[in-house]
């Protein structure tokens, strides 16, 4: 369903009893609400939760910001490496505002907030700026953005910034398959056919590379969130893959050090994805 969240139209999947404790799931860069696997949603529902997934602005079936133009990622990357300000069409704080406005529209006073990758960065903003809205916080495979932390290896960054060799669906799926193989969990490899089927379904639902580029510049422009972390008071769990090639494990360890009382789950064999075999563990950690 479509929901007006503070003037931004978001596509939302909202399941479970309206009076049950809400779990709000925030997806990462360019990803759609369907990036949260159905078995994870079903597990959380079975534990007595209301589960809310949504497409971030500029992703999936939510409102696009094409009028803001297509950012030059090469220039943005260069400015980031030179520690110069990066101009973005909107900010992660704006996306956090979308999420809080969505909670208002759905009548959710507070929720268990879980963010993955970029979604975890958005969740940091929510927990720090709106502590009364967050009962529990789960940060998955994400980072504070501090420049002292290790970064993705050059070939992984290059794959993230690359484009498909063609615009037909098969070329896009091949491109995404290569990327997910690079960043996925080496200890939990999915069957190639299953991965391709999942990616094809995602592309058929929506493929919005320009929106992903705008989101990426918002991430680059956000800078170091370490000062925000000191303001987080919600009980926090940090989940990170020991073998994450995109956001190295040291980033998860850093988050746990800077958030008071945070619990760190560092999982061997896990990379930058949500492997089927780990979904029950994720559900247990998110539900607390």
- DSSP string across 26-69: E--TT--GGGS-HHHHHHHHHTT-EEEEEPPTTSTTSPP-GGG-
pLDDT > 70: percent of the chain: 100
| Cα–Cα dist 179/160, whole Å | 7
- What's the confidence (pLDDT) of residue 153? 87
Query: Of all residues in the chain, what percent carry a pLDDT higher than 90?
Result: 90
> Of the ranges 73-82, 132-141, 173-182, which is most confident?
132-141
The per-residue pLDDT for 266 is 98
Pairing of strands 111-116, 263-267: unpaired
**Res 82: pLDDT:** 83
149 three-class SS: coil
Lowest mean pLDDT among 97-101, 108-112, 158-162, 252-256: 158-162
The boundaries of the domain holding residue 264 are: 2-287
Q: Are strands 8-15 and 50-54 parallel, antiparallel or unpaired?
A: antiparallel
- The model's pLDDT over 112-149, given as tens digits with 9 standing for 90+, comes to 999 999 999 999 999 999 999 999 999 999 999 999 99
What pLDDT sits at residue 258? Answer: 98
- Domain count across the chain: 1
Torsion over CA: 207, 210, 213, 215 (sign): negative
Check pLDDT > 90 for residue 63.
Answer: yes
pLDDT digits (tens, 9 = 90+) for 11-20: 999 999 999 9
**What is the helix (H) or strand (E) element at residue 14, kind and residue range?**
strand 8-15
Cβ atoms of 168 and 148 within 8 Å: the answer is: no
Nearest of 111, 101, 118 to residue 137 by alpha carbon: 111
Q: What rounded mean pLDDT belongs to the chain?
A: 96
pLDDT of 104 reads 98
Residue 175 has pLDDT above 90, yes or no: yes
Q: Which residues contact 87 (CB under 8 A, 6 or more apart)?
A: 71, 76, 217, 221
pLDDT, position 229? 98
Q: What is the CATH number of the domain that holds 98?
A: 3.40.50.1820
Give 168-236 as a 3 state SS string: CHHHHHHHHHHHHHHHCCCCCCCCHHHHHHHHHHHHHHCCCHHHHHHHHHHHHHHCCCHHHHCCCCCCE
> H/E element holding 239?
strand 236-241
More confident residue, 80 or 119: 119
At residue 27 the predicted structure's pLDDT band, cuts being 50, 70 and 90, is: very high
pLDDT in tens, 186-222: 999 999 999 999 999 999 999 999 999 999 999 999 9
């Amino acid at each position: 369903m479509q929901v007006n969240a503070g003037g931004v139209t978001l596509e939302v999947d909202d399941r479970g009893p309206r009076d049950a404790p809400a779990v709000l799931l925030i997806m990462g860069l360019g990803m759609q609400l369907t990036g949260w696997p159905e078995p994870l949603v079903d597990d959380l529902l079975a534990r007595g939760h209301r589960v809310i997934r949504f497409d971030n602005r500029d992703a999936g079936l939510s409102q696009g910001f094409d009028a803001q133009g297509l950012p030059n990622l090469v220039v943005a990357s260069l400015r980031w490496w030179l520690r110069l300000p990066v101009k973005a069409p909107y900010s992660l704080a704006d996306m956090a505002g979308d999420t809080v406005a969505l909670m208002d529209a759905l009548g959710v006073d507070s929720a268990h907030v879980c963010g993955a990758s970029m979604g975890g960065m958005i969740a940091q903003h929510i927990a720090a700026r709106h502590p009364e809205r967050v009962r529990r916080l789960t940060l998955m495979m994400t980072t504070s953005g501090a420049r002292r932390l290790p970064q993705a290896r050059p070939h992984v960054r290059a794959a993230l910034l690359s484009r498909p060799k063609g615009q037909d669906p098969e070329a896009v799926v091949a491109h995404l398959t290569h990327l997910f193989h690079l960043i996925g969990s080496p200890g939990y490899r999915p069957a190639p056919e299953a991965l391709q089927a999942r990616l094809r379904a995602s592309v058929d639902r929506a493929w919005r590379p320009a929106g992903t580029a705008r989101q990426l510049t918002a991430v680059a422009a956000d800078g170091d969130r370490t000062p925000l972390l000191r303001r987080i008071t919600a009980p926090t769990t940090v989940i990170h893959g020991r073998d994450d090639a995109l956001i190295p494990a040291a980033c998860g360890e850093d988050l746990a050090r800077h958030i008071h009382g945070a619990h760190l789950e560092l999982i061997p064999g896990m990379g930058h994805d949500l492997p089927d075999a780990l979904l029950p563990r994720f559900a247990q950690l998110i539900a607390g």
